[in-house]
């Protein structure tokens, strides 16, 4: 039994509500009570939050971990440290490991070894949607769902064959499985390294047009409508895609969308100077795109904010821009990055937290991500205004490829609890 803990004098960010409320929370491994609590049971640890903000631990739906197969980039241990420090209490791990998570035994491996090595941070596998991620034959979706895979994804590789995606979406309906798909037409995007536009032209870099996303997203939404499958459009980047998503949702299609926090805060200008740490896939797009994405988060059109955590070693990033690897780490900066939008009054605080807690929990059918009685006590205490300048060399991840390097951010996680146990701070 975990010793009960009472945190009082906190500002509660309940993702089911639309405003911050002063209050307290009592929990052991689960939340016992929340709100106005007058007394604690005997022997309870009492923490005075002194006005810090309190929220459910974050659920990051898109984390690449190098274990197994690329432990030099990231391990369960290093990712777990970074997550705990960043307030992420649940990581949904991408299937693009070596070997690829496309078999129930590997799902089982992640579920058993992950939390054991991650210092308690929950690790849930996203299984491969197609065998070897080659986009041709669907994997054992039913068996892997039963083994504990929370979603099915083809990682960064879009499925070119509409027939394959149709069958996978259709087949998955009998298990209610969520399918995440990165909409990007590989032929239009081929060779591109940044957003196609004036800046790319000036820099002399091949661009990825925004319609590469729109075209495939339209196809994916039509297939979701045809099959009744649950589709997550994984990491949207372009304003042009949003009206299609809105129309589909309006028709009752089981479609959802996520956005990478970097795309809400940065734009193509961050690439200027050939900064490879801002080389992302999908690419950072124009300021208009960024603003449209923030509005879509406010409207709930985009359901989930993810870190897109993708550790890359310096030798893969310190290359001429075209040759450098895509990707950025984000576990430790997901919250501070998202809070930028709160501090700039772009997106309400509860909305931001909801997109990283309750919304992913609902999509993945998890009991976490909420401040309600009997929910697992995954809780974070945040000093929301605390400023810091990001020094990427000090990141806990094994890789330090963050486009936020040297940027001024606000919001520090003071303490992280998972199932009532402190895993960071305190």
Partner 1 sequence: MAQRPTGVKKSEARTSPVRFRHKHLLQIADLNREEAESLLDRAEHFAPLAEQKIKKLDTLRGRTQINLFFENSTRTQSSFELAGKRMGADVVNMSVKSSSVAKGETLIDTATTLNAMRPDLLVVRHGSSGAVELLSQKVDCSVINAGDGKHEHPTQALLDAFTIRDNLGHVEGLTIAICGDVMHSRVARSNVALLTLLGAQVRLIGPPTLMPAGAERWGAKVFHSMKDGLKDADVVMMLRVQRERMAGGFFPSAREFFWFYGLDEDKLKFAKPGAIVMHPGPMNRGVEIDSSVADNPKVSVIETQVRMGVAVRMAVLEALAEHGANTEKA
List residues binding partner 1 (CB under 8 A): 131, 136-143, 163-164, 167, 170-171, 173-174, 227
Nearer to partner 1, 131 or 343 (CB): 131
- Closest Cα partner for 296 from 404, 383, 217? 217
Nearer to partner 1, 106 or 297 (CB): 106
Nearer to partner 1, 68 or 142 (CB): 142
Q: Are 339 and 411 in contact (CB under 8 A)?
A: yes
Q: Are 277 and 402 in contact (CB under 8 A)?
A: yes
DSSP 96-163: -SSS-S-SHHHHHHHHHHHHHHTTT-EEEEEEESBGGGSSSSB--HHHHHHHT--EEE-TTS----HH
Nearer to partner 1, 89 or 104 (CB): 104
Q: Which residues pair with 418 in a beta bridge?
A: 421
Q: What are phi and psi of 22, to 5 degrees?
A: -70, 140
Q: Report the nearest approach of partner 1 to the CB of residue 181 (Å).
A: 16
| Cβ count within 10 A of residue 14 | 24
Nearer to partner 1, 29 or 140 (CB): 140
Q: Report the nearest approach of partner 1 to the CB of residue 174 (Å).
A: 4
Q: Which residues pair with 379 in a beta bridge?
A: 56, 417
Question: How is residue 309 annotated by DSSP?
Answer: B
- Closest Cα partner for 92 from 151, 163, 30? 151
What is the spatial distance between Cα 40 and Cα 426, in angstroms, rounded to a whole number? 19
What is the spatial distance between Cα 320 and Cα 169, in angstroms, rounded to a whole number? 39
Nearer to partner 1, 94 or 139 (CB): 139
Q: Report the nearest approach of partner 1 to the CB of residue 225 (Å).
A: 13
Q: Report the nearest approach of partner 1 to the CB of residue 419 (Å).
A: 32
How far from the centroid of its chain's Cα atoms is residue 243's Cα?
22
Q: Report the nearest approach of partner 1 to the CB of residue 140 (Å).
A: 4
Q: In what order do the strands lie in the sheet with 151-153?
A: 58-63, 88-93, 122-128, 151-153, 178-181, 230-233, 255-260, 304-306
- Closest Cα partner for 334 from 393, 398, 258? 258
Query: 82: which 2 tokens?
Result: 């970074």
The phi-psi region of residue 343 (left if phi > 0; otherwise alpha if psi is between -120 and 50; otherwise beta) is alpha
- Closest Cα partner for 156 from 124, 125, 189? 189
Peptide bond into 282 cis (omega under 30): yes
Q: Report the nearest approach of partner 1 to the CB of residue 173 (Å).
A: 5
Q: Report the nearest approach of partner 1 to the CB of residue 137 (Å).
A: 5
Nearer to partner 1, 104 or 333 (CB): 104
Q: Report the nearest approach of partner 1 to the CB of residue 171 (Å).
A: 5
What is the spatial distance between Cα 186 and Cα 190, in angstroms, rounded to a whole number? 6
Q: Report the nearest approach of partner 1 to the CB of residue 55 (Å).
A: 38
What is the spatial distance between Cα 377 and Cα 108, in angstroms, rounded to a whole number? 24
Q: Report the nearest approach of partner 1 to the CB of residue 147 (Å).
A: 11
Query: 213: which 2 tokens?
Result: 């996303």
What is the spatial distance between Cα 99 and Cα 102, in angstroms, rounded to a whole number? 8
Nearer to partner 1, 8 or 131 (CB): 131
Q: Report the nearest approach of partner 1 to the CB of residue 133 (Å).
A: 14
At residue 349, the 3 state secondary structure works out as: helix
Nearer to partner 1, 163 or 394 (CB): 163
């Amino acid at each position: 039994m975990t010793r009960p803990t009472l945190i009082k004098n906190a500002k509660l960010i309940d993702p089911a509500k639309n405003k911050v409320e002063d209050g307290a929370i009592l929990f052991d491994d689960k939340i016992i009570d929340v709100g106005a609590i007058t007394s604690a049971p005997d022997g309870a640890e009492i923490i005075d939050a002194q006005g810090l903000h309190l929220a459910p631990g974050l659920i990051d739906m898109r984390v690449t971990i190098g274990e197994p197969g690329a432990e030099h980039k990231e391990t369960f241990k290093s990712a777990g440290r970074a997550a705990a420090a960043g307030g992420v209490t649940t990581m949904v791990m991408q299937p693009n490991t070596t070997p690829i998570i496309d078999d129930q035994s590997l799902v089982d491996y992640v579920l058993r070894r992950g939390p054991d090595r991650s210092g308690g941070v929950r690790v849930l596998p996203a299984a491969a949607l197609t065998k070897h991620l080659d986009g041709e034959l669907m994997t054992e979706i039913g068996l892997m769902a039963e083994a504990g895979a929370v979603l099915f994804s083809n990682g960064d590789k879009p499925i070119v064959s509409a027939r394959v995606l149709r069958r996978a979406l259709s087949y998955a309906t009998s298990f209610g499985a969520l399918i995440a798909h990165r909409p990007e037409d590989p032929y239009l995007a081929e060779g591109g390294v940044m957003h196609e536009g004036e800046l790319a032209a000036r820099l002399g870099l091949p661009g990825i047009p925004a319609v590469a996303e729109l075209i495939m997203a339209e196809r994916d939404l039509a297939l979701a409508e045809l099959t009744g499958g649950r589709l997550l459009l994984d990491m949207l980047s372009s304003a042009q895609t949003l009206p299609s998503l809105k129309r589909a949702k309006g028709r009752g299609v089981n479609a959802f969308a996520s956005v990478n926090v970097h795309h809400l805060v940065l734009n193509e200008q961050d690439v200027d100077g050939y900064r490879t740490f801002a080389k992302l896939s999908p690419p950072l797009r124009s300021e208009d795109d960024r603003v449209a994405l923030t509005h879509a988060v406010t409207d709930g059109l985009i359901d989930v904010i993810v870190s897109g955590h993708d550790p890359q070693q310096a030798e893969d990033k310190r290359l001429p821009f075209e040759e450098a690897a895509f990707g950025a780490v984000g576990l430790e900066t997901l919250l501070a990055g998202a809070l930028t939008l709160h501090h700039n009054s772009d997106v309400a605080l509860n909305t931001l937290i909801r997109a990283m807690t309750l919304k992913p929990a609902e999509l993945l059918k998890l009991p976490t991500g909420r401040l309600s009685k009997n929910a697992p006590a995954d809780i974070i205490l945040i000093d929301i205004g605390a400023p810091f300048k990001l020094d990427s060399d000090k990141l806990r991840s094994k890789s330090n490829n963050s486009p936020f390097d040297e940027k001024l951010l606000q919001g520090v996680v003071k303490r992280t609890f998972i199932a009532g146990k402190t895993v960071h701070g305190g």
